[in-house]
Every structure is written in C-alpha cells, then in structure tokens.
Amino acid sequence: MRIGIIGYGARIEGIFTQLSKVDPSCQIVAIADPRMEELKLSATFDHSEQVQWFECADELLDNVTLDGVVVGTRCNLHTEIALKVLKRNLPLFLEKPVATTYDDLFRLKAGYEASHSQVVVSFPLKNTPLVKLAKEIIDSGKIGTVEHVQAVNNVPYGNVYYQNWYRDEQITGGLFLQKATHDFNYINYLVGQHPAAVCAMKSKQIYKGDKKAGLQCTDCDEKYSCPESSLNHELGKYCSFAEDTGNEDSGSALIRYDTGMHVSYSQNFFARRAAAKRGARLLGYKGTLEFDWYTSELKVFMHHEARVETHQLDANAYDGHGGGDTKLLLNFTRVMRGLEQSATPLEDGLLSALLCLKANESADTNTFRTIDWNR
C-alpha cells in the first residue's frame, strides 16, 4: 500500500512513524509540505530516504500513484486539500477539524457525497478501549437508557493554544473546533442519538493582556518570572498575554438531543498538573457510568443497590490518546485494502464540526442554535 502525506506536521508524524509496526507492507512514498527541505533532514519513519518530496498537494497527487492519502495540513486547509483527494476517489485519512467555516463544511459535504472515497477522520477517542468498554456497558442496559451526560475536558497543556500558530483563530476556528470536536464525537457515539440544538458560552479571562503583538518570550522583561514563559516549558514561543493572543480560555455547551435528553460539556485551558481531567458521567435510571482518560479508570455506580464496579485499564499498554492512535492507523490500512469500513467516517466529522460551528455561533449571539443542514 502506497501512502502519500500532504502536510507532515507533529500530529501526523506521531501517528505514522508507527506505520511499519501496524502494517509493514504499507509505506509512505511521497510527502508534500512547503517545509520539505527541513523535513528531509528530520524524517524518522522507515524508508524515508526513498520518499518523493513535493512543495504542494497538486504536484504530489498529479505525479504519484497512491493507494491512500493523509491530510495533516493546518486546520483551515483541511477542506481544500480533502476535496482534491475526494475527486480522485482515494481512501483518505483526514485530520480534524474537517472544516473551520460553514462554507468549507458545506463544500466538503457536497464533495464527499459525489465521491467514492472512504474517509477515516482522526478521532482517536472514539477508538479507545475506555470508550469501547463504556459503549459495551451502556448497550448492555446495565445503567438503563442514558438520560443525562456531564462531560469535561480540563487541558493541562493549554499553553500550546496561545504560544504558537494555534493562537491564530483564522487558522483554528477556535477551541470548540480544536478540542470539543473530539468530545462531541465520542458523546454522540455513546448516547447513540442525534443532537438537535445547542447553546454555548466561552470566555477569555486569563490569556489576554497588553503586551505588544508578536512578542516572544525570549524578548520579554518577565521571561524569568512568568510561569507561561517558554523558558519554563517547550510548548511555544509567543507571549500568552500579548494583544494578539487569540482563542478563548474556557468554554461550555448545552446540547439537546432528539429524545429530549441533554448533555452539559465544559472545557478549560488553564488547569494544570493534577487538575487535568477528560471524560464524562453518563446517567441512566439504573446507574451512572463515569470514566477519565487521565486515570484510565471507569466506574459504574448502581443506583438501587450498594455496589460500585471499578475497571482499571493499564495505561502503559496503550499508545497516544489512550490507545486510539494505533486503532486509527490500523483502520486506515485496512480501509485501503478494502477489508474494513471506516470506524470514524466523514459523516462523524461533518456532524461534529457542524455542532462546534453552531456552538461558536451560539456563544457569539447569545442564542440557541438548531443542528440541521439548512444554510
């Protein structure tokens, strides 16, 4: 299987360096990236010396015979590059968010519906053993029908969204599209229902200030005392308290589903260390199920008997994203071979992106927004 990569960033590198372990007969044969000269020197995957390098996507797609394509560009380019691949009906591995604007979302949906491509969206959380176990227990009826969800994501590495290119909202689309897109996807999967409406709020209380635009930590007179200084960590180089620092630093959403049940979700980007948490409580009449990726633990609290069941997963047995990254890669290799359907199809990515865009719109307009495909 011959794979081409368009946009070889840190995320794609982290996944596809494992390719030879997952399927030794798959090989990266071409990469398109404007940083090609730099990447040639640092590429660490097997057979990197045999790769053909290109500066743009069109050159790669027009000149190399491929069995599958990976899109790992910056977020605002995902749709444009994906459409080029969809026109060629090739299996596609697409990073999230699949779109950052309504226009891109509708263009991508139309291009997908006209294509024969199978698309694997980079949603690792849905693939993790923790979520699969939760789904198994929920579907067994042990806790009854899920009638309420409380989900949270307290991000301990939030600096990354204020100190490098992620700080530019014109690229990212904001932090609902960056982070909540994963969480909305696994929640939709677990409850097995369709979101009908959303209302949301977001705030910027910490990462704001009057430092000059473009200020780098190394040029700041507080570089030794500031806890956000890049001298204290390696997540970025720009000042978090400059006037051009983008992105909210916390956000919350209430989502109503088609049965009338609702989900509360909250994400925060200045929690640190042991305050980290990512997971959910799903409540039914018979019991409550709770899990957290940071502890690799799932608990079931029975409501009508004095019993708590605890499942402790071995975090050391899994790779990135709680074991989800390997599952993504394996699924993509098998999709290319025609052995499996995508476990995270583009329908999932489109719905999650729509939900995030509607959440942004709700927060900006102080209104409830309906989740539908009407413009």
pLDDT for 231: 85
Instruction: Report pLDDT for 156.
Output: 96
Partnered with residue 45 across adjacent β-strands are none
Question: Are β-strands 119-121 and 148-154 bridged in parallel, bridged antiparallel, or unpaired?
Answer: unpaired
For the record, the structure tokens of 144 come out as 């009854």
Nearest to 303 by CA among 292, 282, 325, 287: 287
pLDDT of amino acid 375: 67
Rounded-to-integer distance, Cα 48 and Cα 38, Å: 13
Tokens 């949906």 locate to: 109
Query: Read out DSSP for 156-170?
Result: TTTTHHHHSGGG-HH
Domains of the chain, earliest start first: 2-124+328-342 (3.40.50.720), 126-320+350-370 (3.30.360.10)
Q: How far apart are CA 111 and CA 354, in angstroms?
A: 16
Residue 79 tokens, joined: 């749709």
Query: Reduced to 3 states, what is the DSSP secondary structure of residue 366?
Result: coil
Q: Can you give the pLDDT at residue 52? A: 96
Average pLDDT by stretches of 10, the chain with 375 residues: 95 91 94 93 79 96 98 98 98 98 98 98 97 98 98 96 95 97 98 98 97 95 92 85 96 98 98 98 98 98 98 90 94 98 98 98 98 87
- Cβ-contact 79, 7 below 8 angstroms: no
Residue 248, both tokens: 């909210």
129 residue type, one letter: P
Q: Is-contact 289 143, C-beta < 8 A?
A: yes
Query: Could you give the 3-state DSSP secondary structure of residue 255?
Result: strand
CB 29 within 8 A of CB 4: yes
- Rounded CA-CA distance 135/46 in Å is 36
pLDDT at residue 43, as a whole number: 79
Q: Is the four-CA dihedral 221, 225, 226, 230 of positive or negative sign?
A: positive
pLDDT of residue 41: 84
Residues whose CB is less than 8 angstroms from the CB of residue 183 and which lie 6 or more positions away in sequence, other chains included: 125, 151, 153, 265, 267, 278, 280
How far is it, in rounded angstroms, from Cα 156 to Cα 93?
27
Task: Pick the closest to residue 145 from 282, 258, 279 (CA basis).
Answer: 282
Look-up of token digits 């080029």: 84
Please tell me the distance from the alpha carbon of residue 94 to that of residue 91, in angstroms, as a whole number: 10
Whether 67 and 41 have beta carbons less than 8 Å apart is answered as no
